């Protein structure tokens, strides 16, 4: 069901995680530190200054905030960074289980070109997480939000089990379709850019601005 990618691509993906986990971007860049309360915790992360807030939605059980480059629109984006929160998530469910479920949903959308690359389990800021690359290398038909037949959408997901809630951090790229066995340059570039938003810190809701109390 899911297509395999080359060993070289796997090595590249693993190296990008090492870069952003180290809390140092590989190149100098301008960013602000965003602080967003999402249910039981406040999340802090880096936001490049050439990106902008695009959308926020929230209900009793789920939260979504999206960011895009300043020269793009939400209706026709090619790059997107988002954080989702799910309140009081079942503590018995592992981040890996959530990743598997997301991948299965993608496989329904593009059964012949679905990609699910498991990067593995990590501990981020003291919380269990699972990293994966998930998406469609070629869309078999037009989809929602202006994603057209023949295009691709690939996302670098970080699924994090917080204090009480579940969080997704996601960096997505849309572009031309490609052979699923090898990532094209624009996908590798997007994966590499994930480090520009990290690290993500999980703070108490009482933390004053600019500080992260646990």
pLDDT tens across the length of the chain (214 residues)? 555 544 344 444 444 444 444 444 444 458 999 999 999 999 999 999 999 999 999 999 999 999 999 999 999 999 999 999 999 999 999 999 999 999 999 999 999 999 999 999 999 999 999 999 999 999 999 987 789 999 999 999 999 999 999 999 999 999 999 998 889 999 999 999 999 999 999 999 999 888 898 8
Q: In the numeric block, which tokens belong to residue 121?
A: 């389990």
Q: For each of the domains in the chain, give its residue range(s) and CATH number, in order of start.
A: 7-203 (3.40.1000.10)
Alpha carbons within 13 angstroms on the beta-carbon side of residue 68 total 15
d(CA 133, CA 194): 12
Q: Residue 52: which H helix or E strand, with range?
A: strand 51-58
Angle at 21 between CA 159 and CA 208, to 5 degrees: 80
pLDDT for 210: 83
For 205, phi and psi rounded to 5 degrees? Answer: -65, -20
DSSP type of residue 90? -
- Helix (H) or strand (E) holding 154, with range, is strand 151-161
Q: What is the pTM of this model?
A: 0.86
């Amino acid at each position: 069901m899911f297509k395999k990618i080359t060993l070289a691509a796997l090595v590249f993906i693993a190296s990008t995680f090492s870069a952003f986990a180290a809390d140092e971007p590989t190149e100098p860049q301008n960013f602000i530190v965003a602080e967003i309360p999402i249910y039981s915790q406040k999340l802090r992360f880096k936001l490049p200054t050439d990106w902008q807030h695009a959308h926020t939605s929230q209900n009793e059980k789920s939260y979504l905030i999206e960011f895009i480059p300043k020269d793009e629109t939400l209706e026709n984006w090619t790059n997107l960074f988002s954080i989702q929160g799910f309140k009081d998530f079942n503590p018995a469910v592992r981040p890996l289980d959530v990743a598997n479920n997301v991948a299965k949903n993608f496989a329904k959308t593009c059964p012949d070109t679905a990609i699910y690359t498991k990067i593995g389990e990590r501990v981020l800021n003291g919380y269990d997480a699972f990293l994966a690359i998930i998406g469609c290398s070629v869309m078999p038909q037009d989809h929602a939000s202006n994603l057209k037949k023949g295009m691709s959408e690939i996302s670098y997901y970080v699924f994090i089990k917080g204090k009480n809630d579940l969080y997704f951090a996601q960096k997505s790229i849309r572009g031309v379709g490609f052979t699923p066995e090898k990532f094209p340059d624009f996908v590798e570039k997007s994966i590499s850019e994930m480090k520009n938003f990290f690290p993500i810190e999980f703070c108490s809701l009482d933390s004053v601005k600019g500080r992260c109390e646990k």
